[in-house]
A and B are shown apart, each in its own frame.
Chain A
Amino acid sequence: MSRPSQTRVVWTAVFALPLLFASVAALQTRIDAQTRKQSQTQEMLLLSSPTVVKKLSLGYDSLLADVYWTRVVQYYGERLVKGGADYDLLWPLLDITTTLDPKLVVAYRFGAIFLSLPHVPPGSNLVGGAGRTDLAVELVKRGIAANPENWVLDSDLGFLYYWQLKDYKNASAAYLDGSTKPKAPQWLKMMAARVAAKGGSFENSSLIWSEVYASTKNPQIQKLAWTMLRALRAQDDEMHLDELATAYRKRIGRYPTSTAELLNAGYLTKIPVDPAGHPYVFGAEGKSRLAPDSPVVIPPK
C-alpha cells in the first residue's frame, strides 16, 4: 500500500470510527426504548439453590460470594430508595452469599439489619427493611456457627433479641455467650447482666445503639443508629414530661397545655427541647410529644 493511500485510510478511520460508535450508541438507545417494556420483568434468581451455585463456582466461591453480597446491597439499596417495596429475594440472596462464603461476617451483620428492620412507608425518613426478624436471627445464628470465635455476631444476635423481639432472656444469653469469646470487649458482660436485670430500659437501649454507632463505618447504619439515639432521648424526655404533667394535674386540677406552664409552676428549671432543639408540646390528656416541625423521628413500634 502506498503512503498516500495509507494516510487516507488512517484519516478515514479517525473520522469514521467515532461517528460509527456514536451511531451504534444512538441505535442502542432506540433498541433500549423499544425493549424497555420487555425488560421490566420481575427480578428473579435464576439459580436459587445455594449448594448448586457453590458447585458451579468451580472453587471460586469466595469471589462469587462477594458478587452476591454486592447484589444484596444493590437489591436492598434499590428498595430503600423506593420505600414500601417487597424484599422477597433478600433472604435467598443472603442464603446464597453466606453458603458461598460462610466466613463473610459482613453479610451476616448487615444482612440481619436489612432483614430485621420493619417495613416503612414510601417517602419516610426512616431506614426500612424486610421486617423478618425471624430470618435475621436464623442468619446470625448461622454466622455464629460458621465463625465461633467472632463475638461481634453474638452481640448482633443480642441486639436482635433485645431491640426487635424484646426477648431479654435470650438477649442476655447472647451477650453472655459473646463475652466468653476471644477479644470480646468488657461491655458485653455488662450488657448481659444489665439486660437480665432490667430488661428494656432507656440506658440499655442507648448503650446498645451507641455501640452500633461506634462499631460501624457504614453511613447508612450510622444514620440509623443516630436516628435511634435521638428517638430514644426524645422518648425518655416525653416519659419524664408525662410524669410531671400527672403531678401538675394533681396539684392544679388539669393537664398542662405547654412546657411553659410546667416551668411557671416550678416543675422545670428550663424549657426542655428535643435532640433537634425544638421544644416539646402537649396534646390532650397531658401527653407530651414532639413539635410538628421537629425533624426527630420516633420509629413505629
Chain B
Amino acid sequence: MSVPGIVAINTFREAVRDRVLYNLVFFALIMIGAAILVGQISIGIERLVIVNLGLTAISVFGLVMSIFIGVGLVYKEIEKRTLYTLLAKPIRRWQFLVGKYGGLLLTLTVNTFFMALGLAAALFYVGRTFVRSDALILVAIYFILLELALVTAIALFFSCFSTPMLSTLFTLGIYVTGVFATDIRNIAGFTSNGAIVYPTRFLYYVVPNFHNFNAIGLAAHGGQIPFALFWQNTAYAALYVALLLIASAAVFSYRNFK
C-alpha cells in the first residue's frame, strides 16, 4: 500500500477509536423520532420531512465532523509529538497530509453511508415502498459528500499553520461565505460602481461556492438534477480540493518544527 494509503487507514482507525461514529446513534434517533412524530403534528409532509431532515442531518453531522476533526488533523500530531516520529521515517510531508485528508474523507464516507442506510430505512417505514425519484436522494448525498470533501480540505489547510480554535473560525467563516456566494455575486448587480462590482465578482469566483452542492430541496420534491451538474460539481470539488491540498502541502513543507 502507498504511504498516503497507510496514513489514511490509520487516521480512519483513530477516528473509529475516538468513537466518532457514535454520532450514527443520534442520527438513528432523529430519524426514528421524525418518522413517528411528524405524521402526528403536521399535514402532508411525512416523506418530505424524512428526506429533508435526513439529508440535513447527514450534511450537518458531516460538517461538524469535517471541521472539528479536520482542524485537529495536523495540530494533534504536532501537539502529541507523534509527527516527529512519523517524519523521521521515509514519509514526505505532502504524503502525510494527503493520507490524513484521505483518512478523514474515508471516515466521512463510511459515516455518510450508514446515515444513508438509516435514511432509506426511515423512508421505507413512512412510505412502505421506494419510488423512482428516491434515486435523487443518492445524488443529493453524493453532493453532500463533495461538500464535506471541500470543507475537510479547507480545515486541513488552516490546520497546517494555525491553532484548532482559529482554524475552526476560519473554516466556518469560509463555509458561511461560500453558502452566500450567490448573494455576493448578486451585490454586483445592484450597483455600477467598479470599486464594488469587481471585488465582489472576484470574491464570488475565489470563495468555494457551497451553494452548488445543495440539492436537498430538489431531492425532497423529486425534481430533476441535470447530469451535467453531476460531473460539473464533481470536477469543481476535485479541482478545489487539489488546489487546497497543494497549498496545504506548500505551507506544511515550509513549516519549522524545531
Interface residues of A (CB under 8 A from B): 55, 58-63, 65-66, 69-70, 73-74, 101, 103-104, 106, 109-110, 217-218
Contacts and interface: CB of A to CB of B under 8 A. Distances in A.
A221 to B, nearest CB: 9
B98 interface: no
Interface string B44-63: 11001100110010011000
Contact of A63 (B43, B53, B179, B180): B53
A58 B176 contact: yes
B137 to A, nearest CB: 12
B75 interface: no
A66 B214 contact: no
B43 A106 contact: yes
Contacts, number: 60
Contacts of A63: 49, 52-53, 56, 216
Contact of B53 (A59, A66, A101): A66
A264 to B, nearest CB: 51
B211 interface: yes
Nearest to B222: A103
23 contacts: A55-B180, A58-B176, A58-B179, A59-B179, A59-B211, A59-B214, A59-B216, A60-B56, A60-B60, A61-B217, A63-B53, A63-B56, A66-B49, A66-B52, A69-B45, A70-B41, A103-B217, A103-B221, A103-B223, A104-B48, A106-B45, A109-B44, A218-B43
B217 A55 contact: no
Interface of B: 38, 41-45, 48-49, 52-53, 56, 59-60, 176, 179-180, 183, 210-211, 214, 216-217, 220-221, 223
Contacts of A70: 38, 41-42, 45
A97 to B, nearest CB: 10
Given A60-B59, A63-B56, A66-B52, A101 B41 contact: no
Given A66-B45, A103-B221, 19 more contacts: A55-B180, A58-B176, A58-B179, A60-B59, A60-B60, A60-B216, A62-B217, A63-B49, A63-B216, A66-B52, A69-B42, A69-B43, A70-B41, A73-B42, A73-B43, A74-B41, A101-B217, A106-B43, A110-B44
Contacts of A59: 179, 210-211, 214, 216
A73 B52 contact: no
A66 B48 contact: yes
Contacts of B223: 103
A71 to B, nearest CB: 9
B250 to A, nearest CB: 31
